[in-house]
Amino acid sequence: GRGGAQAHLRSKIEELEKEAAREQSRLRQVEGELRCQKAHVKDMELKQGSAESSISSLKLEIEQLQESLQNVRSQALQQAKEKDDLVAQLQLTRLRVKQMESAAEELEVQKLGLSRERDDVAATLHRKVTEFHQRFASLGDAQQALSMQLRQRSKQDEAE
C-alpha cells in the first residue's frame, strides 16, 4: 500500500512540475505580449505628443487670426468706401477661424481617445501579469505540500 501511495504522490508531483513548465512558457508568452503592448503604448504616447503640439500651433494660429479679425473690423469702420471688400475678407477670416477651432476640437478628441486606449491597455496588462503570478504561487504551494507529504511517508516507512 505504501509504495503505491508514494508512486501516486510522485506522479502527482510530476504532473505539477509539467503544469508549472506549461505555465512558465505561458508566462514567457505573456511577457512577450507585454513588451509588444509597452511598445504600442509608447507609440500612442508619441502620437498624443504630436497631437498636442498640433493643437498648440493651431491655438496660436487661431489667436493670430483673431487679432487679424480685430484689425479687419477697425479698418472696416475707418474706410467706408472699401466696406464691401472688407466685409468679404471678414467673412473669410471668420470661416477660417471656425475651421481652425473645429480642427483643434477634433485633435483634442483624438488625444482623449489615445489617452483612454493607453490606460485600458496598461490596466489589462497589469491584470494579466497579476493573474499569472497568483497562478504560479498556488502551483508552488501545492508542489511543496505534496513533497512534504512524500518526505513524511518516507520517514514513516523508515521508522517502521
Q: Which pLDDT tens digit goes with each residue over 7-16?
A: 999 999 999 9
Q: Which residues of 62-72 are buried (b: 16+ CB within 10 A; e: fewer)?
A: beebeeeeeeb
Is residue 6 within 8 Å of 153, Cβ to Cβ? yes
Residues 6+ apart with CB under 8 A from 117: 44
pLDDT in tens, 77-89: 787 777 787 788 8
Work out the end-to-end distance of the chain between its first and last CA atoms, rounded to an integer number of angstroms.
14
Cell matching residue 126: 497589469
Band (143; pLDDT cuts 50, 70, 90): confident
For residues 113 and 107, what is the distance between their CA atoms, to the nearest angstrom? 10
**Over residues 112-136, mean pLDDT:** 91
